[in-house]
């Protein structure tokens, strides 16, 4: 079968977040095989999808694996899969994915971008757990639980410079949430093209720092919409690869828009 590496939330190669994408001929193989392929690809996520019968609520079934675990929701690998379906002609128009997080819809646009329709993360303000400040190397201004789909602790920091300068203790961060920590701050200068900045550390699923995280933006969107008074915003995830995510808060749903680029296509022989 064909295997592709796609850079998501970017319009140029070697930026954004890379994901493996495999379009399967039939049902999912056993979990051990899926996990072994994801470990071999060794990117933050590998997406596996197969076509569903045409009479249901979804068009394709979709699962996501990190090198060490299956996850409940992944934005950048969903964007990458939708990009592969469109560019290979495997599916035209909006595509409905059946996933562990319900039916997720990806809609391509004429400019090559794709908009994902994801559930908005329910935010609950919490006290920052003891040890988070020490693990991050910065004092939280506020902390929020992001609910079961995302499974992260969202931490707002004082300013963009603090977010960019973090050098956290990844092992220590793993004790404080199911997946990891999202850190964020308001953009220092919105004229640069983004309204807020973030970084994501997910040691519990084998990812010390994720490049660009779509699922995290389902929590960042309601957080910053409430503070900035606008539902349509742009976030910069300031990892070494970096990427922009356009978000649109629509109540219980969040729209995530970005581009993707296929950088490698080959044959999986295992």
Which of 264-268's residues contact partners 24+ apart within 8 Å by CB, and which partners?
264/4, 264/5, 265/2, 265/3, 265/4, 265/5, 266/2, 266/3, 266/4, 267/1, 267/2, 267/3, 268/1, 268/2, 268/3, 268/22, 268/37
Can you tell me the distance from the alpha carbon of 166 to that of 103, in angstroms, rounded to the nearest whole number? 36
> Which of these is catalytic: 45, 156, 160, 209?
45
Nearest CA to 62 among 111, 10, 24, 5? 24
- Annotated active-site residue 188? The verdict is no
Q: Strand, coil or helix: what is 92? A: coil
Residue 78 belongs to what H/E stretch? Answer: helix 75-88
Nearest CA to 260 among 158, 144, 112, 123? 112
Active-site residues, by number, are 45
């Amino acid at each position: 079968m064909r295997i592709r590496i796609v850079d998501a939330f970017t319009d140029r190669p070697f930026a954004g977040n890379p994901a493996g994408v495999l379009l399967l001929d039939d049902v999912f193989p056993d979990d051990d095989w899926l996990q072994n392929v994801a470990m071999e690809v060794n990117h933050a996520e590998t997406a596996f999808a197969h076509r569903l019968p045409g009479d249901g609520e979804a068009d394709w079934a979709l699962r996501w694996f990190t090198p060490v675990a299956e996850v409940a929701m992944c934005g950048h690998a969903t964007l990458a899969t939708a990009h592969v379906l469109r560019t290979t002609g495997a599916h035209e128009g909006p595509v409905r994915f059946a996933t562990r997080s319900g039916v997720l819809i990806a809609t391509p646009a004429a400019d090559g971008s794709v908009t994902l329709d994801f559930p908005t993360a329910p935010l609950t303000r919490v006290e920052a757990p003891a040890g988070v400040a020490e693990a991050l190397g910065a004092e939280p201004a506020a902390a929020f639980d992001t609910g079961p789909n995302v499974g992260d602790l969202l931490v707002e920091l004082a300013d963009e410079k603090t977010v960019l300068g973090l050098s956290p203790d990844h092992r220590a961060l793993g004790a404080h949430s199911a997946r990891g920590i999202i850190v964020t701050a308001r953009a220092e200068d919105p004229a640069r093209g983004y309204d807020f900045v973030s970084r994501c550390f997910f040691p519990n699923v084998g990812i010390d720092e994720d490049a660009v995280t779509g699922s995290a933006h389902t929590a960042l969107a309601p957080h910053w919409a409430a503070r900035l008074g606008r539902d349509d915003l742009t976030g910069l995830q300031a990892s070494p690869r970096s990427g922009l995510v356009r978000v649109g808060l629509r109540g219980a749903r969040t729209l995530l828009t970005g581009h993707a680029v296929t950088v490698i296509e080959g044959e999986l022989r295992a």
